[in-house]
Amino acid sequence: MNTSIGDRIRSLREFRDLTQEGLASRAGVHVDTIRKLEQGVRQSARINTLRALARALDVQLERLVGQPTVTQELVDDGGLLELRDAIQDIGALPGVSLSESLEDPPDEQEWADSVRDATTTYWRGDYSQLASVLPLLMRDGRAVARETPTERVWRQLALTYQLAACLAAQAGHPDWAFAAVEKQLAAAARAADPLMEGMGVSTLSWVLLRQGRWEQAQDVAVRKADALEPSFRKSTAAQLAVYGNLLIAAATPAARGDERDEAIQMLTAAEAAAIRSGPVRAYGTAFSVVDVRTQKVNIALAGSAGRPDEALRFSSDVRLEEISRPVHSAAYRVDVAQAQYQTGDSDGALATLLEVETEQPEWIRFQTLAAATVREMLETERRRNTPLRGLAARLGVDPTL
């Protein structure tokens, strides 16, 4: 907790045998930025700068910024290590046999109901609770699939792995998440469900983005969206929702790579699909016009030259009460807080972040953008701001800066 970003940059740079000038060249940032970070003159930088530095140092962003990789509460059953073990199922490896007997499958409908409840828990932001139930849910699902390998069961098992991928990525373990997506896509293939496969690729794109693999994240989502592009006259709401989610998934890395115009075009197409479909809940996610509009705010902040004024203008089209998922609402408001700070409204940014923390006290601790915004605010505070320093301490940002 007491190791600064500058300390981590210096350590990784020296380990890579890079000079400050060499790192600046690789990352495409000014050498003064690196120098000030390492000297402690600056305690943070814009999130896009940090992403570029992480990529240049060949490390995950989570390691560079010190994102927590544990849930808040310890549980007697489950937990993140149990989640890892359930994703990386040793018994499924070829040539490996285990001594323990296979589980008896639970009731199929009861298990499917538990998958639905777990999805609600994820979107509520209760990661500790989800980590306590998800490992057993995956093991039970595999047992049900062995006993009753129907397409419906495989579809539900794919959703379970989708949850595992999302939770692992949020908790700072994108490699576990990638393994979970592999299993999600395999289960979707067994379900013979192209739309479930499409959601799997959408999840994969997000995981690749968390790994810093922007080009691949964009490419896989664009290719799958092209393959599933529906006829707007004959398409179902679910088809439009999966197609729209893939466009959103592709737009985010496009904007990170400074292809902003292309990203906006993708979101425009996604919004057209949302208008046609109406609000949809399917395949473990939600899709609506407001879901697309919140992403316009995120896109405006992305890339090497973020546009916070434009982000706030886009936010005027978002009705907060229409966002159906609590975690999505929180993520949108963290973007708004970043835009508020960058346009000089530090008080508004702090009020927004404190509001999000009140509603999502566990979720916000995993958000690198929230922590980066707080670091920037600490650097520029003109007088001691007790609420800001309290928030910084709770997010693991050293408030004594």
- Segment 242-300, tens digit of pLDDT: 999 999 999 988 987 778 889 999 999 999 999 999 999 989 889 999 999 999 999 99
Token output for 214 = 């922007």
pLDDT of residue 397: 80
pLDDT, tens digit, 9 for 90 and up, residues 151-209? 999 999 999 999 999 999 988 888 999 999 999 999 999 999 999 999 999 999 999 98
- Contact between 105 and 147 under an 8 Å Cβ cutoff? The reply is yes
- Contact between 270 and 222 under an 8 Å Cβ cutoff? The reply is no
- Contact between 273 and 243 under an 8 Å Cβ cutoff? The reply is yes
More confident residue, 243 or 399: 243
Q: Domain coordinates of the chain in residue numbers?
A: 1-66, 73-192, 194-291, 325-401
The total number of residues shown for the chain amounts to 401
Q: What ranges in 5-60 are assigned the alpha helix state H?
A: 5-15, 20-27, 31-39, 47-57
Token output for 155 = 């579809």
Q: Residue 26 burial (CB < 10 Å; 0-12/13-18/19+)?
A: middle
pLDDT of residue 1: 43
Query: What would the mean pLDDT of 124-143 be, rounded to a whole number?
Result: 90
- Contact between 275 and 289 under an 8 Å Cβ cutoff? The reply is yes
pLDDT of residue 273: 94
- Contact between 93 and 85 under an 8 Å Cβ cutoff? The reply is no
Chain-centre distance of CA 16, in angstroms? Answer: 28
Query: Hey, what amino acid is at 280?
Result: V
Its CATH class, for the domain covering 1-66, is: mainly alpha
- Contact between 169 and 217 under an 8 Å Cβ cutoff? The reply is no
- Contact between 50 and 65 under an 8 Å Cβ cutoff? The reply is yes
| Element at 287 (helix H, strand E) | strand 285-287
The lowest-confidence range among 140-149, 157-166, 175-184, 375-384 is 375-384
Sign of CA dihedral 38, 43, 48, 54: positive
pLDDT of residue 260: 83
User: Distance between CA atoms of 174 and 169, rounded to whole angstroms?
Assistant: 5
Backbone φ and ψ for 282, nearest 5 degrees, come out as -160, 150
Taking CA 305 as the corner, what is the angle to CA 67 and CA 259, rounded to the nearest 5 degrees?
Answer: 95
* Residues 6 or more apart whose Cβ sits within 8 Å of residue 271: 289, 292, 293
Taking CA 197 as the corner, what is the angle to CA 248 and CA 234, rounded to the nearest 5 degrees?
Answer: 75
Q: Residue 253 burial (CB < 10 Å; 0-12/13-18/19+)?
A: buried
- Contact between 118 and 130 under an 8 Å Cβ cutoff? The reply is yes
In three-state secondary structure terms, 281 is: strand
pLDDT band of 148, cuts 50, 70, 90: very high
Token output for 11 = 């350590």
Share of the chain above pLDDT 90, in %: 52
Given a cut of 60, whether residue 68 has pLDDT beyond it is no
User: How many other CB atoms are there within 10 angstroms of residue 158's CB atom?
Assistant: 28
User: How many other CB atoms are there within 10 angstroms of residue 17's CB atom?
Assistant: 7
User: How many other CB atoms are there within 10 angstroms of residue 88's CB atom?
Assistant: 14
User: Distance between CA atoms of 205 and 351, rounded to whole angstroms?
Assistant: 32
DSSP assignment, residue 99? S
Strand partners, 287: 280
HSE-up of 102 (CA within 13 Å, CB side)?
Answer: 15
- Contact between 373 and 339 under an 8 Å Cβ cutoff? The reply is no
Q: Shortest CA distance to 42 belongs to which of 2, 6, 12, 66?
A: 6
pLDDT of residue 258: 72
